[in-house]
Amino acid sequence: MSAVLISAEELREALTGKTIRLLDVRWALGDPDGPEHYRKGHIPGAVFVDLDTELAAPPSPARGRHPLPDAGQLEKCARSWGVCRGDPVVVYDATGGMAAARAWWLLRWAGIADVRILDGGLPAWTRDGGELATGAAPDPAPGDVELAPGALPVIDADTVARWDGVLLDARATERYRGDTEPVDPRAGHIPGAISAPTAENLTADGCFRPPELLRERFAGLGTGPVAVYCGSGVTATHQIAALAVIGVEAALYPGSWSQWSHDPKRPVATGAGA
C-alpha cells in the first residue's frame, strides 16, 4: 500500500480488520447522475459524496466553477459521512480516480493523513471479485473529525502569474491548445504552462501507471517547484496524486482555467507551445 493508492485486493483485506470510511465520489463533467450510479451499485458501506455541493463552494466567475469549500462546511460534511478522528479514508469513483482525487486532496489538505484512492476505482473492485450493494444506504453515525486546512500547498492567480517553476495544465491537449473550449469563456492556456493531460496518468484499465512510468513522464516536463491547474480544480488533484506517488509535491491552483479565463486582465496563450 502506497501513501496515495490502495489496490482492490488491499482494500478487501483491510476491510476485514478495521474501520475504513469509504467515500463514493462518482462525478463527471456533464453527468449529474452520480447518486443514481451509487444506488445501482456501490462498495458495501460506502457513503455517496456529491462533488459539486460537498467538495466545492458555490461557483462564480470570480472564484471558478469549483472553489475550495469553507473549512467549517467541509468538516460538517466529513462528519455527516461518518468520518471520526483517526479513521483511515478510502475514496473511489468509476473514472480512474479523476473525481475521487478531489476528495483525496481536500481531506489531505484539511489534515487527514491517511486518505487513499482506490486504484482503478469501482471497475477494479468488481474485477477483483468485490461485491456491490444497491439502493440507498442509511445515514452513517455522525463522525467527530476535526479538520484544519493548510496541510497541502495552494496558490492563487497572482502567484500563478509570476510562478517561477513548472506549471502543468492537466486538461486535454485540445483545450490547452485552444482548439476547443466547451465550458469556459476563453480558449487557450495560461502563458508558460506545459500541457500534461491527466488521462496520461492512467493505464488502459483505469489504474495509475506504475511509479517508474510516472517518474519518466514527469521527468521530461521540467524542473523546479511544481503547480497544477485544470478546468476547475478537480482533475488537477489527480495530477497532484500522481506526482505524490513518486514523491513530488505540487501546489494546486483551485480557481484554474474557469477563474483565469473569466478575468479579462489575465493573458491567454494558444497553440502547442507554452
pLDDT tens-place string over residues 141-196: 999 999 999 999 999 999 999 999 999 999 999 999 999 999 999 999 999 999 99
DSSP string, 208-226: BPPHHHHHHHHHTT--S-E
| ∠ Cα 218 222 224 (to 5°) | 105
Question: Which residue in the list 77, 84, 207, 230 is annotated as catalytic?
Answer: 230
DSSP string, 38-72: HHH-B-TT-EE--HHHHSSPPPBTTTBSSPPPPHH
Mean pLDDT of 25-34: 84
- Residue 19's pLDDT is 86
Domain ranges of the chain: 5-128, 157-262
Mean pLDDT of 50-58: 96
Mean pLDDT of 218-228: 91
At residue 152, what are phi and psi to the nearest 5 degrees?
A: -125, 150
Q: For the ranges 28-42, 58-72, 198-212, which has the lowest average pLDDT?
A: 28-42
pTM exceeds 0.85 for this model: yes
- Residue 33's pLDDT is 83
Q: Do 157-262 and 5-128 fall under one CATH topology?
A: yes
Percent of the chain with pLDDT over 70: 99
Amino acid at 82: G
Based on the residue annotation, tell me whether 77 is a catalytic residue of this protein: no
Domain 5-128, what architecture? 3-Layer(aba) Sandwich (3.40)
Domain 157-262, what architecture? 3-Layer(aba) Sandwich (3.40)
- Residue 32's pLDDT is 76
Count other Cβ atoms within 10 Å, centred on residue 36: 10
Alpha helices by DSSP H, listed for 81-172, are 100-109, 121-127, 157-161
